[in-house]
Structures are given as C-alpha cells and as structure tokens.
C-alpha cells in the first residue's frame, strides 16, 4: 500500500481506527476524517508512522457537502491524488417504527445515506482524472437484511447499496471499483448509545473488519471484490 493515498472517513471509529492502524503499518499515505478534531489528533499520535507528512487529518462533518469538498481538496493539495476512499462513518438509531421521530429519520438519512453519497461523489470526481480508484462503503448486513427496531437505519443502509451499485456502473469505464461490506455486529463504540440488548462478546472485532477491507484493497488489479459479507458465528443471515 506504500504508493496509495487512502481517505478514511470515520477514521476515529472502531472500524475506521483499526483500519487506519493497519494502513499506516503498510506505509499508505492517509487522509483521516471525522468531526471530533481532538479524537483525530489522538489517533494520529498513536499511528506507527515515521514521517509526519504521511498523515493529514481533516475535521469534517460529512453531512455538509461543502466540508466534503474541502476534505477532498486538502487531500489533493497534500498528496496530488486519491486512490482509495473508505466510508466508515455512520451511526445507528434503533427504535420501533412508531417511535421514530422525523429528526431520527433525518439523522440516519443525512449521515449514513447522504454523507456517504457526498463522499463517494466527491472522491469519484478526483479519481476519474487518473482513471483509477477504489471506493469502499461499509454498509453492514442491515443494508441487505431486516431487523426489528432498525427501520430508519435499514432505510439509510439499503439506500447506500442502491446508490453504490448505480455509481459503480457509471464509473467502471473510469477504472473506479466499488466494494460493499456487509459486516454483522462489530464490537465498537457504535453500540455504546444503541438502545438494544446485544452481546458484544460474540460480535466480530474491528480488526476482522479491517482485515477484510485490506483484503479488498490488495486484490489483484483485474479483480473487483464487489461484495464482502462476514457475520459472527452466533448470528448468521441466509
């Protein structure tokens, strides 16, 4: 990954930070985004890097398209290209359908659906110029299967699958690949505020998720890992 420039959105999250550590070890140049600048600074301070120029952190709220544009411009100013975008920002509102307020639905659609749409759209515009790129959207299994209490979350995640497949068709002639990741439960801060009883000890680890993303990024050039589905043994979906 030494010649790659990777933008990780949601870099301070469970999955994002596990991936960021692995990419830093592999020598990738990193552009790290999330809203909280102090958490970004802590992440950068913990990375196994030898040169400070290898990492750029850009506090970004991806629900704001202007901030997403700024993120991509800063990446280009520092590194001159973007090879990979990993969309690992997201959150969950888990409530019964009739308890979901308009603000809950807006929050899910603004962050999970529109935020990842804006980032994919902006990164693709940059990648098109080089006729190469890889966009990884961390959808989750609830972009494919249903669950009680998850109607707003599923609405946002099924939407991510829809736009990703359309963009992938439009962008294949520019050499831009999409990979969709359908992870089951991953033990991360994502669950801290979720109003659900879950057994986090049986979930996947963020390292498992990060290894799967790295696998897709290292696939042979002619190979497109279109979808990767990994579930914890205790909770399989067929």
Ligand X SMILES: NC(=O)c1ccc[n+]([C@@H]2O[C@H](COP(=O)([O-])OP(=O)(O)OC[C@H]3O[C@@H](n4cnc5c(N)ncnc54)[C@H](OP(=O)(O)O)[C@@H]3O)[C@@H](O)[C@H]2O)c1
Sheet of strand 5-9: strand arrangement: 55-59, 29-34, 5-9, 84-87, 133-138, 176-183, 227-230
232 binds ligand X (CB under 6 A): no
153 as an active site residue: the answer is: yes
Interface positions, 169-208, toward ligand X (CB under 6 A)? 183, 185-186, 188-190
Q: How far apart are CA 147 and CA 60, in angstroms?
A: 30
Binding residue (CB under 6 A) for ligand X from 20, 60, 151, 164: 60
Of positions 35, 74, 95, 130, contacts ligand X by CB under 6 A: 35
Residue with tokens 């902006």: 122
DSSP string, 66-117: HHHHHHHHHHHHHHS---EEEE-------B-GGG--HHHHHHHIIIIIIIHH
CB 43 within 8 A of CB 121: no
Cβ of residue 120: shortest distance to ligand X, in angstroms?
13
Task: Choose one: 12-20, 45-53, 99-107, 164-172; the region binding ligand X (CB under 6 A).
Answer: 12-20
Report how far apart, in Å, the C-alpha atoms of 175 and of each of 9, 123, 224 are: 22, 13, 10
Give me the least distance between CB of 15 and ligand X, in Å please: 4
Helix axes 116-130, 65-79, angle to 10 degrees: 30
Q: Which secondary structure element, helix H or strand E, spans residue 118, and what is its range? A: helix 116-130
Sole window of 34-42, 77-85, 123-131, 219-227 interacting with ligand X (rule: CB under 6 A): 34-42
Query: Nearer to ligand X by C-beta: 45 or 222?
Result: 45
Among 12, 29, 151, 179, binds ligand X (CB under 6 A): 12
Which candidate in 97, 153, 174, 182 is catalytic?
153
User: Could you count the other beta carbons within 10 Å of the beta carbon of residue 170?
Assistant: 11
Q: Which token pair is 20?
A: 């960021």
In the shown chain, the binding pattern of residues 74 to 103 toward ligand X, with x for contact by CB under 6 A and - for none, equals --------------xxxx------------
150 binds ligand X, rule: CB under 6 A: no
* Residue number, 35 or 128, with CB nearest to ligand X: 35
- Site residues for ligand X per CB under 6 A: 10-16, 34-36, 39, 60-63, 88-91, 111, 115, 138, 140, 183, 185-186, 188-190
Point out the residues that are catalytic: 153
């Amino acid at each position: 990954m030494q010649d790659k420039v990777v933008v990780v959105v949601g870099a301070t999250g469970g999955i994002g930070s596990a991936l960021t550590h692995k990419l830093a070890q592999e020598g990738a140049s990193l552009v790290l985004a999330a809203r909280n600048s102090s958490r970004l600074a802590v992440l950068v301070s913990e990375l196994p890097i030898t040169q400070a120029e290898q990492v750029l952190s850009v506090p970004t709220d991806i629900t704001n398209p202007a901030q997403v544009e700024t993120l991509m411009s800063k990446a280009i100013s520092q590194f001159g290209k973007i090879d990979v975008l990993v969309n690992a920002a997201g959150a969950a509102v888990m409530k019964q359908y009739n308890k979901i307020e308009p603000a809950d639905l807006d929050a899910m659609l603004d962050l999970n659906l529109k935020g990842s749409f804006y980032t994919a759209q902006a990164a693709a515009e940059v990648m098109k110029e080089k006729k190469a790129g890889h966009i990884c959207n961390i959808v989750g299994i609830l972009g494919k299967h249903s669950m009680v209490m998850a109607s707003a979350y599923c609405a946002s995640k099924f939407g991510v699958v829809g736009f990703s497949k359309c963009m992938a068709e439009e962008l294949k002639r520019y050499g831009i690949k999409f990979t969709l990741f359908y992870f089951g439960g991953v033990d991360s801060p994502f669950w801290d505020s979720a109003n659900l009883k879950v057994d986090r000890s049986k979930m996947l680890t963020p390292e498992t998720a990060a290894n799967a993303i790295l696998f897709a990024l290292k696939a042979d050039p002619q190979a497109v890992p279109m979808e990767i589905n990994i579930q914890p043994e205790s909770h399989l979906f067929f």
